[in-house]
Structure 1
Amino acid sequence: MDFDLPDEHRMIRNTVRDVCREEIEPVAQEIEDQHRFPAEVFEQLADLDVMGVPIAEEYGGLGGDTLMYALVAEELGRVSGSIGLSYVAHTSLASKPIELFGTEEQKRRWLRPLAAGEHLGAWALTEPGSGSDASNMETTADRDGDEWVLNGTKQFITNASEAGSILVKAVTDPDAGTDGISTFIVDPREDDGFEVTTVWEKMGLNASPTCEIAFDDVRLPEDRLLGEPGDGWEQTKKTLDGGRISIAALSTGLAQGAYERARAYSKEREQFGKQICEFDAIRNKIVDMHRKTERARLLTYRAATRYDEGRPVTEESALAKLDASEAAREVAEDAVQVLGGYGYTTDFAPQRFYRDAKLMEIGEGTSEIQHLVIGRELGL
């Protein structure tokens, strides 16, 4: 379905779609096989001025809205889950919070290079001992004069090995519960005591680095605190509302990419003297793949539109993320099935979509957590 998008949104989507088809799709499997972060692709995206789509122009961004950003994320996911994941982590998690919660000086110093695509950003919440219970963290930041001293470990941090700045959550008041969590800006290139300790080998998305990072007496000046002490958890919840829309958009792209490849193959492959799409079993599967993808897209665009209208989106973003992530995995699995033995080989894309899609049900809150969030919004 081609939605009635504003002209500017359609232009951005089509421009990114062309770049994806011409530049990214031909290397998508290669960078996965090599487990290589494709810096050159992000340089191209920076040249297109889409590394800061939802960031104001005065801070180096495109000045677009969340719907426009979702369109870009969807197009990237349509050809490469890895590139899409690094892109959305950079934008919604590492850049947008600085615009929402930072001082003018922080926006000039830290947000502008992110929005312009001079380097990637990362966001560090999860720890080795805390996943879904994200607020139960052990990373601490202790005040020492006019500095903060950061210690701890963060786990499964997208882009950390490539980042020019990382937003780190840490406990500043152990007795205050979630009101004792704060956010700090870390410069991994300059701050002594920072280390990337592991870059994980994963089931999929291996062109997007996922890292364990450690902080050993990292000393940060006062101006590295984002917002006020104790603001970190409220910032996190607001950030995740937008982040879930990002994952929903990326998931929709993964589903669309898998569906398109299965549909095309079903019209080319012949068995028993006719195209396999003429058999009920295959035709019905393709129709269901299309239905799930369109449903995910509708929920994602609704959540993005509500976000742009300034309305509460906790329920809508969780619904979109839950549905789209599960749709991505189901559609990708069906795409592998439609292609049969070929679908299981790396010469064809469905196996990559299948492996990439699984993370969408885990990152930015598992499907189980989305049920919890939605239940709370429903008063259950």
Structure 2
Amino acid sequence: MGATMDHRLSEEHEALRKTVEEFARQEVAPVIGEFYERDEFPYEIVRKMGAMGLFGLPFPEEFGGMGGDYFALCLALEELARVDSSVAITLEAGVSLGAMPVYRYGTDEQRREWLPALCAGERLAAFGLTEPGSGSDAGGMRTTARLDGDEWVINGTKAFITNSGTDITSMVTVACVTGRAEDGRPEYSSIIVPAGTPGFTVSKKYSKVGWNASDTRELSFADCRVPAGNLLGERGRGYAQFLRTLDEGRVAIAALSVGLAQGCVDESLRYAGEREAFGHRIGEYQAIQFKIADMEVRAHTARLAYHHAAAKMLRGEPFKKEAAIAKLVASNAAMDNARDATQIFGGYGFMNEYPVGRFYRDAKILEIGEGTSEVQRMLIARQLGL
């Protein structure tokens, strides 16, 4: 009959999952609430994640990586997000948006220069794509780069860029319009801008609804000059690079969303076994049982969706539609589960000291970042030939 379907994790993947689960429970859970309250970036936690090799998971050992695969990264993101999304998004953006484009499109020289410190988590990188006036509509990009002798001169503004202004940020890959094709359409390219380059300004942190222990900033470029050799990959191939980066990122964000959805189940189960109302533990009431059952169903189905997308990606098959489905289903699951968990906790769910309050604030962005739910539906419809 041929190969059997096996949804079990390999020994290596299960060992990694367990290690990250323990790390999240022991090292992240007890302290992250305080960082969140203070809008503070958790450098010490990031350092420990780096020492564990999490930032190097999908990269070869020759660049300081762990020699694992992208699915390993997804498992780590899921386990971190079961406890906290700020820490998870720092890892997700650092790897799939920061380091991955350098690994995939960079020259050997660029890889040797940037990747070892990124894989070690000693440095972070960011990906500058979104702008104040162009998010879903990447074609509306205004940031430009023109060649002046052997330098690129960059002008423009980027918005909502994760990991772009920490003390350990080493560089940002900036998506720019670098010219026009003969038919007048813009030519897009990616250019590496090291932190601290004159003309590159990182503004102060945004005041955000959620992800409060993650670093998100607006970036501006005013006649910012970098060497021509900082071009990442081929000139004019930027658009194809963004699309590939975002497809992969969607699988990672789906994994993170599943973690948040599962974290809501974890917390609700614990609370339902402790909290009493009307003379009984609330877990004895069918209204609560059904709510938690629905939450588990959402987390489970969303996990299957991202596992499927990751499997296709690792086999080198087209996975654009599956990535969009996983992102859509998982972000919906996170949002719905966060709302239900907050309801189960009642008044306590509205208090920041409880994780579900944090989960509620963190869930909404999952339906927006790395492609809105509307964009996912567009992609799915297009892949169906509509």
TM over 0.5: yes
Give the counterpart of 1:321 among 323, 327, 330: 327
Partner of 2:369: 363
Q: Distance in 2 between matches of 1:50 and 1:160?
A: 19
Q: Distance in 2 between matches of 1:175 and 1:303?
A: 34
Deviation at 1:135, TM superposition (A): 2.3
Over the residues paired in the alignment, what is the CA RMSD in angstroms? 1.3
What secondary structure, in the 3-state scheme, does the structure 2 residue paired with 1:219 have? strand
Contact 1:333 1:354 in 2 (8 A): yes
Deviations 1:31-73 (A, max 9, x none): 1101000111111011111111111111111111111110001
Matches within 5 A, 1:235-314: 235-314=241-320
* 1:230 matches 2:255: no
* 1:110 matches 2:117: no
Q: 2:36 corresponds to which letter in structure 1?
A: E
Q: Distance in 1 between matches of 2:317 and 2:148?
A: 40
Q: 1:119 corresponds to which letter in structure 2?
A: R
Moved more, 122-131 or 108-117: 108-117
Normalising by structure 1, what TM-score?
A: 0.97
Partner of 1:134: 138
Partner of 1:181: 188
Q: Distance in 2 between matches of 1:270 and 1:181?
A: 59
Contact 2:324 2:380 in 1 (8 A): yes
Give the counterpart of 1:49 among 53, 78, 88: 53
Contact 1:66 1:305 in 2 (8 A): no
Deviation at 1:271, TM superposition (A): 1.8
Partner of 1:76: 80
Deviation at 1:179, TM superposition (A): 5.7
Deviations 1:140-182 (A, max 9, x none): 0000111111111000001110221111100001456666000
Give the counterpart of 1:25 among 14, 26, 29: 29
Contact 1:322 1:367 in 2 (8 A): yes
Deviation at 1:272, TM superposition (A): 2.1
Q: Distance in 2 between matches of 1:307 and 1:364?
A: 17
Contact 1:178 1:233 in 2 (8 A): no
Identical pairs, percent: 47
Contact 1:127 1:153 in 2 (8 A): yes
Consecutive unaligned residues of structure 1, counting only runs of 5 or more, are: none
Q: Distance in 2 between matches of 1:51 and 1:72?
A: 10
What secondary structure, in the 3-state scheme, does the structure 2 residue paired with 1:130 have? coil
Contact 1:182 1:231 in 2 (8 A): yes
Q: 1:284 corresponds to which letter in structure 2?
A: F
Deviation at 1:115, TM superposition (A): 1.3
Deviation at 1:256, TM superposition (A): 0.9
Q: Distance in 2 between matches of 1:51 and 1:198?
A: 25
Q: Distance in 2 between matches of 1:249 and 1:135?
A: 28
Q: Distance in 1 between matches of 2:115 and 2:352?
A: 38
Q: Distance in 2 between matches of 1:86 and 1:347?
A: 21
Contact 1:178 1:230 in 2 (8 A): no
What secondary structure, in the 3-state scheme, does the structure 2 residue paired with 1:285 have? helix
Q: Distance in 1 between matches of 2:116 and 2:175?
A: 21
Q: Distance in 2 between matches of 1:179 and 1:240?
A: 20
Q: 2:91 corresponds to which letter in structure 1?
A: Y
Normalising by structure 2, what TM-score?
A: 0.96
Q: Distance in 2 between matches of 1:3 and 1:209?
A: 35
Change over 3 Å in CA distance of 1:261–1:178 after alignment to 2: farther
Q: Distance in 2 between matches of 1:348 and 1:34?
A: 15
Partner of 2:347: 341
Deviations 1:313-363 (A, max 9, x none): 100111000110110010011000011111111221111001101100000
Contact 1:181 1:233 in 2 (8 A): yes
Contact 1:262 1:286 in 2 (8 A): yes
Q: Distance in 1 between matches of 2:360 and 2:84?
A: 12
Deviations 1:211-236 (A, max 9, x none): 00111111111210011110100000
Contact 1:204 1:352 in 2 (8 A): yes
Q: 2:190 corresponds to which letter in structure 1?
A: T
Q: Distance in 2 between matches of 1:340 and 1:3?
A: 36
Q: 1:305 corresponds to which letter in structure 2?
A: A
Q: 2:81 corresponds to which letter in structure 1?
A: G
Q: Distance in 1 between matches of 2:240 and 2:312?
A: 20
Deviation at 1:3, TM superposition (A): 5.4
Matches within 5 A, 1:8-19: 8-19=12-23
What secondary structure, in the 3-state scheme, does the structure 2 residue paired with 1:4 have? coil
Partner of 2:63: 59
Partner of 2:3: none
Change over 3 Å in CA distance of 1:178–1:112 after alignment to 2: farther
Q: 2:192 corresponds to which letter in structure 1?
A: I
Q: 1:53 corresponds to which letter in structure 2?
A: L
Contact 2:80 2:259 in 1 (8 A): yes
Consecutive unaligned residues of structure 2, counting only runs of 5 or more, are: 1-5
Moved more, 169-178 or 38-47: 169-178
Deviation at 1:125, TM superposition (A): 0.3
Partner of 1:149: 153
